[in-house]
Amino acid sequence: MSDIIKTADALKGSVPYSLKLCLKLAELEKQWHEVVGAAAAERSSPVSCEFSEEGLLISIHVDSPSVLPALKSRKPLISRSISGYLGIKNVKLEIKVGKVKKPSSVKDPLPDHLRRPPVVISESSLQKNMKDICRDVSDEELAESLAKLKTIIEKRNRRK
């Protein structure tokens, strides 16, 4: 585990400039909210970059045509912000309407040691609930399903 280093620490060493820039560009998408601001980040995302003699061209997609003029008016500000983040002087932006990548709001699943074990139904508790439900329900298959559901809910409520 001691061999693993953070990206920022790796960039301090004697890493080629092009590799440093590629790592920063990869992080730009993750840090988009901080680089361009909350309002712009909600409606836009970087989609590609191109290296040329004139500098770096970054394509940015916005989610609707109504947002396009607002972001184009902030183009110099966004360009300076990205330039400062990447440490490059010449950054050109191409802003157009397209598909915007939204960061996932789905949480990672809990690790195994934090998950609750599944509810185990004992035959005796199932039979007891089956007898109670069979009095009111004539369909045996439905009664069995309801008895399983009732048993699981009772066991879950006892765990809390």
Fold entry, domain 10-97 = GMP Synthetase; Chain A, domain 3 (3.30.300)
Tens digit of pLDDT for each residue in 92-112?
999 999 998 876 677 788 888
3-state SS string over 106-128?
CCCCCCHHHCCCCCCCCHHHHHH
Query: Rounded distance, CA 130 to CA 123, Å?
Result: 10
Tens digit of pLDDT for each residue in 2-34?
566 666 666 566 667 667 777 777 888 888 888
What does the pLDDT average to over 70-93?
88
DSSP output for 54-97: TEEEEEEEESSTTTHHHHHHTHHHHHHHHHHHHT-S-EEEEEEE
* pTM confidence score: 0.55
User: What residue ranges do the domains of the chain occupy?
Assistant: 10-97, 112-159
Determine how many CB atoms are found less than 10 A away from the CB of residue 101.
Answer: 13
The HSE-up count of residue 40 (CA atoms within 13 Å, CB side) is: 26
Residue 5 one-letter amino acid: I
52: Cα separation from own chain's centroid: 32
